[in-house]
Amino acid sequence: MNIKCRINGEEIILCAEPQERLRDVLYRTGYRSVRDSDDAEGFAGSDTIIFNDTLKYSNFILAYQAEGAEIRTAEGLLSGRELNYVQKAMISAGIVASAYNAPAAALILTWLLEKKPNPTKDEIKEALSGIFIRDAGYEHYYLAVKLACELRDTGTYQSEIAPSFRPKLETIGKPMDKIDGAALVSGEPVFVEDKVPANAWCLHILRSPFASAYIKSIDISEAEKLDGVAAIITADNCPDVYYMQAGQGNPEPSPHDRRLFNHKVRHVGDRVAGIVARTKEIADKAASLIKVEYEPTDAVYTVEQAMAEGAPLVHNGPVQYNAGAPADLDEFNARAGDEREGKVVYQFPLGANIQKNIAASNKGGIGDMEKGFAEADAVVDCTYQTSQIQHTPLEPHVCYAHIENGRLVLNCSTQVPYHVRRIVSWVCGIPENKIHVIKERVGGGYGAKQDILVEEITGYAAWLTGKPVYYRNTREEEFIANSTRHPMRVRVKMGGKKDGTITAIFMEVCANTGPFGNHCLTVPMNSCSKTLPLFKVDNMAYDLKVFYTNIPPAGAYQGYGTPKGNYGIMMAMAELADKLGIDFKLMIEKNHVEEGYMLEILKGLGEGREGNVVPVGSCGLDEAIEKGCEMIEWGKKEVSSDPDWKIGKGFAMIMQGSGLPGLDHAEAIAKLETDGTVILNSGGADLGTGLDTISAKIVAEVLKLPMDRITVVSGDTDACAFDTGSYASSGTFFSGNASLVATNKLKEKVLAEAALQLEEDVADLDVRAPGEVYSKKTGKTISYYELTHTATSGGGRGQIIAHGSFVTAASSVPYGAHFAQVAVNTKTGEIKVQKFYALQDAGTPINPECALTQIYGAVMKSIGHSLYEGMELDENGKCINANLTDYGTPMIGEAPDDFKSVLVDVDDKYGPFGAKSISEIACNGAAPAIGIAIHDACGVWLRSWPMTPEKVLKALGKL
Amino acid sequence: MIYAPNTIEEAAALRAKLADSAVYLAGGTDDLRLGSEAGGKDLIDINALCPDTIEEKDGKISIGSRCTLQALKESDALPCFLREAAGFCASFIKRNSATVGGNLALRRSDSYLAAALAAANASLLVVNKDGEAKEIPVTKYLACDCTCLIVKIVINAGLNGWIRRFGRTSSSHATLIAAVCGDTYAISVSGSPLACGSSPDLTASICFCDDITGSAEYKKYLAETVFTLRR
């Protein structure tokens, strides 16, 4: 039917089926800002439009209902290419991060300001109550509204956006708009889904209803006969290639324990068949015609079940080692089970024993534990449990693959374009030069898109059929068939003296990796390697084991294992302080590391190899603790006017890394273009954090060029040079440093060329704004334009190009302290986070406003994990809350009443212009800070997250 | 298939006739949402039929069934506890579409409004399959499975009450909602039918169950405790 309506002031006729959702019709018609994050759950708000002057979710409006309607989308906020004042303010405030629903947020705030020109905080909160922001948190939305009002009323900003750092530098450390902000907030077609042509074929995955079962038979004959089915891929016909989905350096510290499809399904939601069909409807029909005969087997869901004597085995095939095979491997493999188990290939030993469900293990330590505990006046020995957490990026996992000029081209939403290329190459059996991976803008990653969860099957489907193939996870598939945060059991034994000196720390970590071993060693290693080095304690040891189970898969998640390890170790320290009767702050001060302390503990914590023993570098821990304690008035007891509500305070030290020294690798290519502008090709993958802006700022700073004369092309495997990707907090430190190396080299070449053209000595030359070389000796100048024009005109020496490669053994560790004040209702168990202060040493924050919003976003995630979120499985391993509502996703209503992020000023020796990483570390503090505050409020220790009202009541003995 | 009946009576008759295969469509926030029980069913569009206004007359307040939760929340004519209940649908954008009638017609145990309206002794003006209009207590409507179309919700003006919600987050489904107005107490508990009576001790009439929102033991504790909280 034809539907006549007005959209953004224009008379439009929409062609649609009456029962189509208006969201789908609008998107298809070209209103790309109207996105969908929740499959019409009515939760995330990416589908928000203004419908007859009212904000509505367009998924809840049928096409026919739009007849005669007045509709506004974010496209209508623009005047030509000019953003409106709200969009500009949002970019300036640093909230246009991964930005999948930033256009919807801009529309909501524009509507709000039209109705209420000077809204209160409560009115802003209400307007944003229906939109889910996972990346930047909500706090700077209030700032954005304030800035928008100032811009509207005075034409300029009056308020400080963020603090500035490094006064001698022009761009570094200064709040400046993110270079991709305009494209993102305006709703430009910058995401994978926007690159999919109408003729793309659909890839649909038929998934297992069983947590563990052999596939006895699978009959695809009837499904294959359907018109419009190009291929059905199963365990019977897929490549016999074992791989893993973790995006890690090659060779990976994860076992190759899967094929595209396996003869044994290992979790509810595991792949059974992949159907390539002309439409989704045909794919659905084909799926219904596939006859699968399963042979269910017993399953295990917890580490306790997995480690039990005689437990069902998740993998029981033969094991191979590409290096370091144990002497008894043949004997081990003689005990392997059914051939449908497949095999497990380790690149090198990880301490595994799959016949005990152990995917990896490690142990080590320093000092004498027995002596350490013997010296203690008190010892605590407690176990902390964490739940299975989903990343919930606004943009689900998605991939578009097609064949072009004999090559496989993949448009991806990924943190690791080069790992995608490598793994697709393995699976498809084609060399890397035949594969082109283009990282589009990433609508939320948080580690989920460090794993190659959909790209290999989509790429193979396109390569097999020759069809353009599009795949997109449903929101349910995001929960059941994706990576999640490993559930962990962290036991901490800690001894201390009456004066607060810690004498020994032992950590025992049991991690649940689910059916596959993605990051199975690295994630739990981080629970020790990013916590124990906070302590200057002579006796420390760890013992970690990772178990295969039949829960939905686990993998990388922002912070890796650190949030869980830190929850355990900080809670244990607070419990020890309580037992010793001393102030927690005193105990922290007495035991935390400071600059120069040699970290012997790191020797064994090297993620599958020997770690580097290094001294503590730049460290803002002291300042973070002191300032935070002042802010929250540590030691002052707050009392509620309602006696049912008890108030308590807590805090936790935090640390992380800045990439993986000795493993990570980044490259960049800087080119002086023929008009004197610069294009920087960075292998780094900006996933919304502002990495491209960091690279642009580095070029601007070094070459003294205005930002608008610099373009960054990144994450394109054809255009750029290798980079291991954006994970483990490597972006700024590794990719940023590669950009710095490339730009410094470009500058050297520019000066060398200028010396020849000006006939001057290179030592007398330097660059200056707005992009020229000048002689300090003679005063002669030459613009970059003249310089490059001559270099590329006939008789010149050619375009000036520089390549930068960055690897290092140095480590730049960010530190910080997070503080919480909570109120606990001792009658109902309810917990309110009244105050949260996040103080972090990020070295030089290159984009300070984005640094702050990354902290807010990560803390909100962490508050979510600590108090609300958790996947629940039934007795058959099926996730029963695989949607955003039931899962417990925190919205603006869960944000602390008083929420502050503070950047502690520390200049680092190794990071680009002194920068360190910023966002991952911010996931590490909330759980222990809140847990300790709950104890301070009502005297109970909650040793499992999420820390729910029900658990409070149980701990108080009321249940 | 979408039906567009011309009258309320026609809609109610159609709904009864298509009892298992069709549902009423008003705001769409449930019929069109992910995982809705209405998925795949025909829709009877009542948007042009039922009132969406709030009117006070002769000591009574009539709330049109198509009145949105946001309109309810903003109405100065309504008692605070009922407005607060409308706000239990945490999303402002969803409240702009979700209707009062829709929320009741779903008969969800975690209904935003059921406890408040039951405590307020609300009655509903409904039209049955034969086109007959009648007024029934909200508790009676919620306890049955009739396909009557709700036209209006009627409460006394000038009510004072109190309401409390417990849930994992502001946006998740409620574990328990308890309301009191005068001598009437009502509790909605996830997974259980609405309980309502003249005593705060309603636990005996509730069969508590474990679900995603909490254990039966926890819910029972809350039900026992909620009316002892400070108001």
Question: In the Cβ-directed half-sphere of A697, how many Cα atoms lie within 13 Å?
Answer: 29
Q: Are residues A646 and A677 in the same domain?
A: no
A507 and A641 share a domain?
yes
d(CA A450, CA A958): 43
Residues A909 and A935 in one domain: yes
pLDDT score at A608: 63
Residues of chain B with Cβ-Cβ distance to A642 below 8 Å are 230
Q: List pLDDT tens digits, range A141-165.
A: 999 999 999 999 999 999 999 999 9
Which chain A residue has its CA at the smallest distance from B231's CA?
A642
Which residues of chain A neighbour B217 with C-beta distances below 8 Å?
Answer: 959
A767 phi/psi in degrees, rounded to 5: -105, 155
Probe site for chain B from A60, A109, A116 (most B CB atoms < 10 A) = A60
pLDDT tens-place string over residues A901-912: 999 999 999 999
Q: Which of A17, A38, A41, A828 to mutate to test the interface with B (most CBs of B within 10 A)?
A: A828
Same domain, A23 and A121: yes
CB spacing of B29 vs A57 below 8 angstroms: yes
Please give the Cα distance from A357 to A646 (Å, whole number). Answer: 44
DSSP assignment, residue A639?
B
From A415, A442, A472, give the residue that closes a domain: A472
Q: Which of residues 468-527 of A touch B (CB under 8 A)?
A: 475
Give the pLDDT confidence of A665-722 residue by residue, as tens digits: 999 999 999 999 999 999 999 999 999 999 999 999 999 999 999 999 999 999 999 9
Nearest to B169 among A45, A642, A888 (CB): A888
Closest residue of B to A868, CA-based?
Answer: B168
Distances A436 to A450, A859, B162 between C-alpha atoms, Å = 18, 36, 62
Tell if the CB–CB gap between B35 and A828 is shorter than 8 Å. Answer: no
Q: CB contact, 8 Å: A871 with chain B?
A: no
Query: Residue A177 has what pLDDT?
Result: 97
Look at strands A54-57 and A48-51 and give their pairing. Answer: antiparallel
Which of B172, B228, B230, B231 is most worth mutating to test chain A (most A CB atoms within 10 A of its CB)? B172
CA distances in angstroms from A194 to A185, A198, A268, listed in the order given: 15, 10, 31
- Which of B28, B33, B173 lies at the smallest CB-CB distance from A61? B28
Beta bridge partners of A651: A819
Average pLDDT over every residue of A846-874: 97
Q: Shortest CB distance from A885 goes to which of B32, B173, B222?
A: B173
CA-CA distances (angstroms) from residue A457 to A195, A302, B222?
Answer: 18, 29, 48
Tell me the DSSP string of B190-222.
Answer: TTS--EEESSS--GGG-----BTTB-HHHHHHH
Residue A539 class from Cβ within 10 Å (0-12 exposed, 13-18 middle, 19+ buried)? buried
What's the domain range around B188? 161-228
Chain B residues with CB within 8 Å of chain A CB: 2, 25, 27-29, 32-35, 43, 47, 90-94, 96-97, 166, 168-173, 212, 214-215, 217-218, 221-222, 225-226, 228-230
Q: State the best of A480, A831, A945, A950 to mutate against chain B, taking most chain B CBs within 10 Å.
A: A950
Chain B residues within an 8 Å CB radius of A948: 168, 214
CB A619 within 8 A of CB A597: no
> Is residue B208 a part of any domain in this protein?
yes
Preferred mutation among A3, A19, A129 to probe B, highest tally of B CBs within 10 A: A129
Question: Is residue A171 included in any domain, yes or no?
Answer: no
Q: ipTM of this predicted complex?
A: 0.97
A135 and A233 part of one domain: no
**Is there a contact between A883 and B221 if contact means CB atoms under 8 Å apart?**
no
pLDDT at B72: 98
How far is A487 from A700, CA to CA, in rounded Å? 44
Q: Which residues of B touch A67 (CB under 8 A)?
A: none
Last residue of a domain, one of A149, A164, A179: A164
Q: Omega before B200 cis (within 30°)?
A: no
Do A640 and A734 have their domain in common? no
Could you say which DSSP state residue A718 is in? T
When CB atoms are compared, the residue of B94, B169, B172 closest to A57 is B94
Contact A18 B33 (CB under 8 A): no
DSSP lists the bridge partners of residue A472 as A398
Whether residue A677 is found in the same domain as residue A799? yes
Q: Is the pLDDT of residue A612 over 90?
A: no
Confidence band, pLDDT 50/70/90 cuts, at residue A607? low
Residue B4 lies in a domain: no
Pairing of strands A831-841, A898-904: parallel
Chain A residues with CB inside 8 Å of B28's CB? 60-62
- Looking at chain B, the number of H-run helices and the number of E-run strands are 8, 12
- Chain A: residue whose CA lies nearest to B45: A65
- Number of residues assigned to chain B: 231
In chain B, residues with a C-beta closer than 8 Å to the C-beta of A108 are 93
Considering only CB atoms, A130 lies closest to which of B94, B218, B221, namely: B94
Based on the structure, what is the number of domains in chain B?
1
Q: Do B171 and A891 touch (CB under 8 A)?
A: yes
Please tell me the distance from the alpha carbon of residue A911 to that of residue A222, in angstroms, as a whole number. Answer: 59
For chain A, percent of residues with pLDDT exceeding 90 = 96
Q: For residue A339, is it within any domain?
A: no
Q: Which residue among B97, B173, B228 sits closest to A57, beta carbon to beta carbon?
A: B97
Confidence of residue A23 (pLDDT cuts 50, 70, 90): very high
Do both A673 and A604 map to the same domain?
Answer: no
What does the mean pLDDT of chain A come to? 96
Residue A499 belongs to a domain: yes
- Domain of A577? 488-658+811-955
pLDDT of residue A637: 96
On chain A, the residues whose CB falls within 8 A of the CB of B41 are: none
Q: pLDDT tens for residues A218-245?
A: 999 999 999 999 999 999 999 999 999 9
Interface probe, candidates B74, B171, B225, B226, chain A, greatest A C-beta count within 10 A: B171
- Is B182 within the bounds of a domain? yes
Tens of pLDDT, residue by residue over A813-843, are 999 999 999 999 999 999 999 999 999 998 9
Say which of A48, A828, A883 has its CB closest to residue B222: A828
Measured in angstroms, the CA of A40 and the nearest CA of chain B are apart by: 5
Q: What is the pTM of this model?
A: 0.97
Other residues' Cβ atoms within 10 Å of the Cβ of residue B184: 18
Could you read off the pLDDT tens digit of each residue along chain B, which spans 231 residues?
999 999 999 999 999 999 889 999 999 999 999 888 888 899 999 999 999 999 999 999 999 999 999 999 999 999 999 999 999 999 999 999 999 999 999 999 999 999 999 999 999 999 999 999 999 999 999 999 999 999 999 999 999 999 999 999 999 999 999 999 999 999 999 999 999 999 999 999 999 999 999 999 999 999 999 999 988
Domain count along chain A: 4
pLDDT score, position A661: 86
Do A638 and A556 sit in the same domain of this protein?
Answer: yes
Looking at residue A553, its amino acid is: P
* Concatenated DSSP letters of A51-77: ETTEEEEGGGSBGGGGTT-EEE-GGGG
Q: Which residue of B has its CA nearest to A20?
A: B32
Give me A771's structure tokens: 């992009």
* A744-774 confidence digits (pLDDT tens): 999 999 999 999 999 999 999 999 999 999 9
Query: In this complex, do A42 and B169 lie within 8 Å of one another by their Cβ atoms?
Result: no
In chain A, residues 411-450 whose CB comes closer than 8 Å to chain B:
none
Distance from CA of A551 to the nearest CA of B (A): 18
Res. A659: pLDDT tops 90: no
Looking at this protein, which amino acid is placed at residue A771? Answer: G
pLDDT at B38: 87
Q: Say whether both A536 and A459 belong to one domain.
A: no
Alpha-carbon distance A174 to A170, whole Å? Answer: 7
Q: Cis before residue A845, ω within 30 degrees of 0?
A: no
Burial class, A891, CB count within 10 angstroms (exposed 0-12 / middle 13-18 / buried 19+): buried
Model pLDDT, residue A790: 96
Inter-chain CB proximity B32 and A60 less than 8 Å? yes
Give the number of C-alpha atoms closer than 13 A to the C-alpha of residue A364, restricted to the C-beta side. 19
State the Cα–Cα distance between residues A818 and A622, nearest whole angstrom.
Answer: 12
Which residues 95-124 of A are in CB contact (within 8 Å) with B?
108
What does the pLDDT look like over A407-431, one tens digit per residue?
Answer: 999 999 999 999 999 999 999 999 9
Closest residue, chain B, to A883 (C-alpha): B34
- CB burial of residue A934 (10 Å; 0-12, 13-18, 19+): buried
* CATH number, position A402: 3.90.1170.50
Domain end among A112, A147, A164: A164
Q: In what order do the strands lie in the sheet with B54-57?
A: B54-57, B60-64, B149-156, B123-127, B133-137
Q: Are residues A620 and A691 in the same domain?
A: no
Interface test with B, best of A3, A57, A107 (most B CBs within 10 A): A57
Q: Do B2 and A59 touch (CB under 8 A)?
A: no
Q: Is the pLDDT of residue A948 over 80?
A: yes
Closest by Cβ to A959, choosing from B94, B221, B229 = B221
- State the pairing for strand pair A898-904/B149-156: unpaired
pLDDT score of A457? 98
Q: Which residues pair with B196 in a beta bridge?
A: B186
Do A101 and A214 lie in a common domain?
Answer: no
CATH number where A702 lies? 3.30.365.10
Torsions phi, psi of A245, nearest 5? -100, 0
Q: Please report, for the domain that includes residue A80, its CATH number.
A: 3.10.20.30
Q: What is the pLDDT of residue A353?
A: 97
